[in-house]
Structure 1
Amino acid sequence: MTDGRPCKVCNFTRQKSYGVIVPSLDDLKKKGCEFLGVSPSAPVTVVLEGDGTIVEDQAYFLCLPFNTKFMLLHDKETWAPARKIDGGTAWMARESVVLEADAVDSCIAEAPWWNLALQLKQDLTSIILMSEGDLQSLVEAPCSELASALGFQEKKAEELQETLQRVLDRREEERQSKELLQLYLKAVENEGRQQGATSPSSQDGAGDVDMPDGLEADSASEFMSRTLMVLKGKTSPETRLSTEDLQAVVSRGLEAMQQVLGWDAGRTAALLQACEAELSTRLQQIQAMQSISGTQQDDGKPRQGAGTATQGSS
Structure 2
Amino acid sequence: MTDLKPCKVCRFDRQKSYGVVAHSLDQLKTKGSELLGFCPGSTVSVLLEEDGTVVEDEAYFLCLPSNTKFMLLRDKEMWSPAVRSECVSWQCLSSQLKQDLTAIILMSEAELQSLVDVPCSDLASALGFEPKKAQSLQDTLQQVLDRREEQRQSRELLQLYLKTVETERAQDPGSNPETEVDSSSGISSRTLMVLKGKTSPETRLSDQELQMVLNKGVASMARVLGWEVDRASALVMACETELKGRLGKIQALQSINSQAHHVRLSSTTDKDQEQTKRKKAAK
| TM-score, normalised relative to structure 2 | 0.31
Greater RCO, 1 or 2 (C-alpha within 8 Å, sep 6+): 2
| TM-score, normalised relative to structure 1 | 0.28
Kindly name which structure, 1 or 2, has the bigger radius of gyration based on alpha carbons: 1
